[in-house]
Amino acid sequence: MLGRIGRWIDERAHISGLWQSQMVDYKVPKNLTFPYAFGIMALVAFAIQIISGIFLTMYYQPNVHTAFDSVNYTIMKEVPFMWLIRQVHAAGANFFLAIVYLHIFTGIYYNAYKKPRELTWIVGFFIYFVLLMTALSGYLLPWGQLSYWGMVVTTEIPTAIPGALGETISVWMKGGYELGQITLGRFFGLHIWLLPLILLGLVGFHLYLVRAAGISNPEGVEIDKKKEGVPFHPYITLKEGAYVMGYLAVFFFFVFFYMHHFLPPDNFEPANPFKTPPHIAPEWYLLGFYTIFRSIPSKFLGFIAFNLVLLLLLLLPFLDFSPYRSARRRPLFFVMYIVLIISAMALTILGTMPPTPTNAMLGLVFTAGLFSFFLSLPIISIVEWGWYKARGGDKT
Amino acid sequence: MIKVVFFTLLALIFFYIIWVNNVFAPHETYEMPMQYKKIVEDERYVKEGKQLFEQNCQACHSVRYDAVYPSAVQANPNLKALQEQYGKVLPKDVYESTFYTELSQLKESLGKVPPDLSTMYIARGKEYLFNFILEPQKVIPGTSMPPVMAGRPEDTAKIISYLRSVSEPPPSEKAKRTLMGIVTIAYLIIMGILLWVWRGKILKRMGLH
Amino acid sequence: MEASRRDFMGLAIGGLGVVGVVGVLYPIIKTLAPSAASLAGAKVEVDISQIPEGNVRVVSWKGKPVFVVHLPANFQWNGTTKEDKNRKLLEGHNAYALIAVCTHLGCIPLWKPQGEAEYKYPVFHCPCHGGIYSPWGDNIAGPPPMPLHIPPQNLQGNKLVIGEPGFIKEQT
């Protein structure tokens, strides 16, 4: 019976052909490592956010007087099981960003941004950027002390731009001179549908590009798919299916037993415009940028600095023009990669610490480390071109 | 192999620091003797705790999620009509505008309207609340909170137990949630293992492993 | 042997997968169920002694408007009705509740203790299209096709509990 329905659909939609070509005939390298699964985990995390978000919008109220209670009473205590959906969404946002970061650093390691995958990288960068905006706008919604003051800090950052321009941008973000109903209303609208819609489009395009360009190889050499490839299904699908189960097991451990970081206690105090909480800083996924901003004595230069990091990240495929691919084959690149991730992690952790002079100095050191990675890429590329030519054009 | 171990450890340590226990950014901790911690956790003290709350705290504080309001508001006949209309939790702006007079009086005598305590247990934790209620000036110098419970640590613990019951679900519900979590995680681990084993069998059959 | 083992595993995983889907759907669908608060609103208590005799108070029950009628002790009413289903159920009770939704097109009728137009005795009059009901909600004239519905209710001393089965067990 099921088979007959399947056949009826297939005669009209021709999907079995799609399954055959995309899943069985599609060949991938045999040596894809565990980090290659971060992409599918990010997709799963995205789906979880959408589904949990849809149900949250049924009960959340985007009004400055009732937002906090709609979350902490209606959702957490009144409607059956909504506490679970809220916890899934809060933990899910953090996990989504964590997986995206791991995915980005995986791509950097294996040089998955090189030809023909530069466009994939660029689209991915915009996914990351829009995702940061989605997370920022979402965090405001519970209207707790951290939500409110975190956004005050964020909307103050454009004032680093000197003159009236910075002030204007800040006021435009807030919709006024302070955070209020206008701000909450517009961030709600952005968060629940405009930004997710843009994300959906970007992710769809990103997936298409991954398929169109073919998956990269950890060794950096493209394989002869016909001879050395394995069918995507079941080789990769079941492997990454099992990895996703592991990811979800870790995820749900946090959801049920350790929400402490994802639902910070300070945010259970309703927003009070007249009282700043003692520890206020952006969420961990933005802390690296925040530390860069904070460490540089000039506010304007700090602003330029962290925007520069974003720009350099976007332009990565063009900064690194070496003929060699994958950190496995590039010892110089490998060393700078270590500098990169140590700096990024250190900058994030420094952001959780109070801004003492020592920490500011360390912030500068690791900011320099971060920049040194990007700036080293053209230099390493030139050196490696030399080696390439000397070896008569051998890419191994 | 070394690289795998190195990068895995690095990632695990990083997320441990920022999500579980940040050893670099310690926050203030407060002391609380174990006997009083036990009272807070004990469901049997909730009822007495609520009575103590009504006697000592309700003059100034509300617990909106439990439909408890400051005495002046409680005496206002409009409260009942509002509760009939809106149910258990009155919308904050309706509450603040209807009882503007009573709340303004509190503000005048204390400098600000004493905060609602519905989520205060989660926001501050029992150790902080214990220290603050017993010795307000020590925790927040210059606060307008009077030391109403001075020298009464056991009663203070009972009041905190009541606040805990407003913030947290009852023990039976907590047990249900724990069970849900264990079942979910166990299911996922089993599914993961099954998928892995099944894949192994299929690949062997296809001669691909 | 190998084939059946593989199929068994596939079946087991498929089965567990379905269990997983159900496990995800269950809490999601449960969020649509009424919360404890709204279930509590399924019973409304009205103190009859607070309603002057001959008066009708309107309360809300399960989201609907409800008339709480308090008739005087020796209430006489000799109008004619098209039906007398309600009077049979409510005769002898001087305090009862009626669902205040006109059975024609849903407006809320008005209590007219002094009568309305040619009806010189207490009636409910629906302003939308002129429906007329007796004090017990039986339809007298106009477009309403049937009497007003009666909610389940129980009288405990001076307290009329609407929503609790008592002298009226089920909603008519």
Q: Which tens digits make up the pLDDT trace of A297-316?
A: 999 999 999 999 999 999 99
Given this model, what pLDDT does residue A396 score? 58
Q: Quick one: pLDDT at residue C1?
A: 47
Contact status, residue C154 vs residue C164, Cβ threshold 8 Å: yes
Is B12 in CB contact (< 8 Å) with chain C?
no
Question: Is B193 part of the contact surface with chain C (CB cutoff 8 Å)?
Answer: no
CA distances from B151 to B130, B133, B156 (A): 12, 10, 9
Report the run of H or E that residue C59 belongs to, with start and end.
Answer: strand C55-61
Q: Report the distance separating Cα C123 and Cα C79, nearest Å.
A: 9
pTM reported for the whole predicted model:
0.87
Residues 143-182, chain B, touching C (beta carbon < 8 A): none
Query: Nearest CA to CA, how far is B166 from chain A (Å)?
Result: 10
Task: Give per-residue pLDDT as tens, A29-55.
Answer: 888 999 999 999 999 999 999 999 999
CA distance B40 to C68: 46
Q: Which two tokens stand for residue B114?
A: 């004493």
Q: Which of residues 68-87 of B touch A (CB under 8 A)?
A: none
Q: Architecture of A29-280 per CATH?
A: Up-down Bundle (1.20)
In chain A, where do the E strands start and end?
27-28, 230-231
Full pLDDT tens readout for chain B, 209 residues: 899 999 999 999 999 999 998 888 877 889 999 999 999 999 999 999 999 999 999 999 999 999 999 999 999 999 988 987 888 899 999 999 999 999 999 999 998 899 999 999 999 999 999 999 999 999 999 999 999 999 999 999 999 999 999 999 999 999 999 999 999 999 999 999 999 999 999 888 888 76
Residue to test with chain C: of B179, B201, B206, most C Cβ within 10 A: B201
pLDDT number for residue B86: 86
3-state secondary structure (DSSP) of residue A221: coil
Mean pLDDT of all residues belonging to chain A: 93
* Partner-chain residue, chosen from B10, B181, B199, that has the shortest CB–CB distance to A257: B181
> Positive or negative, the Cα torsion across B40, B46, B49, B50?
positive
Angstroms from C11 CA to nearest CA on chain A: 15
Closest CA to B2 of A338, A292, A271, A139: A338
Q: Write down which chains contact chain A via at least 3 CB pairs under 8 A.
A: B, C
Determine the pLDDT at residue A234. Answer: 87
CB atoms within 10 A of CB A3: 7
List of chain B residues whose C-beta atoms are within 8 Å of the C-beta of residue C10: 198
B88 touches chain C (CB under 8 A): yes
- Break chain A into its structural domains and give their ranges: 29-280, 287-396
- Please state whether the peptide bond connecting residue A234 to the residue before it is cis, i.e. omega within 30 degrees of 0: yes
- Measured CA angle at B145 (ends B141, B149), to 5 deg: 110
Residues of A in contact with C30 (CB under 8 A): 80-81
Interface test with C, best of A58, A70, A81, A251 (most C CBs within 10 A): A81
User: Which among A361, A378, A213 has a CA at the least distance from the CA of A312?
Assistant: A378
Which chain B residue has its CA at the smallest distance from A234's CA? B199
B11 touches A at CB < 8 Å: yes
Residue pair A66/B92 in contact by the 8 Å Cβ criterion = yes
- A232-253 per-position pLDDT tens digit: 888 899 999 999 999 999 999 9
* All residues at 6 or more sequence positions from C36 whose CB lies less than 8 Å from its CB, including other chains: A78
Other Cβ atoms less than 10 A from the Cβ of A46: the count is 20
pLDDT in tens, C99-119: 999 999 999 999 999 988 889
